[in-house]
Amino acid sequence: MECNLGVLASCSTNAKYRTYDGSCNNLVYPSWGKANTAQRRFEYNGDLMIDYDDDNSPRGGFPSCLPSPRLISNTLMADELGPTDQASPTLSGQHFAFGQALTHDLIKTQLKRNLKCCENNDIDVCFPFDIPAYDKDFTPGCRSFQRTERSPDVTALLKTSPGENLPENVNGFCVKKDPVADFCQLTEQVLSIQTKKHVINM
């Protein structure tokens, strides 16, 4: 994946329409929320909400291992703890559907392609986990899992302590919400959109 993260957008205050890639949505900070840029973290009381055990591994996973996420899910959703189909008096399935649609419109996780983390666990972006034999939903065995792409944008480096830099993750979408689902991407991707009859010239 190639990112032109160091190129600042040139914005026009008289532009009639928004940009395809989300740039210039904020004229003061034109790259904020742009597609393929770093997705910044929230701060709490002035501190960044970030915590790694060894500057890389997930919290609680160094030097020991975290339990399998499927083990946690199966334990929490066990029949012994009560029915999992309890109806809510105030919420419906629309709440779930809207929330999922919203996150899918605003976030596109960028991953390194063709990584086989179960075969090579020495790669620093790989965090495979085991699926237990009694799992009802997934095939038992190793499940490949990898960390999202890190942003090479030097302005996105987190300085959690003197001399320590922790890069942010890349978001493939821009963060503004439009009525058209998944429309806001890089300009070259939008220009390559085709209809059944012709290529859209924009």
- Are 9 and 18 in contact, with CB atoms under 8 Å apart? no
Planar angle of CA 34, 158, 35, nearest 5 degrees: 10
Q: Is there a catalytic annotation at residue 104?
A: yes
Query: E strand or H helix at 5, and its extent?
Result: none
Give the separation between CA 168 and CA 115, rounded to whole angstroms.
20
Please identify which of the residues 59, 104, 159, 177 carries the catalytic annotation: 104
Give the separation between CA 50 and CA 158, rounded to whole angstroms.
9
- Cα-Cα-Cα-Cα dihedral sign, residues 97, 139, 132, 57: negative
Between the alpha carbon of residue 137 and those of residues 71, 73, 95, 133, 158, the distances in Å are 12, 11, 24, 11, 38
List, by residue number, the catalytic residues.
104
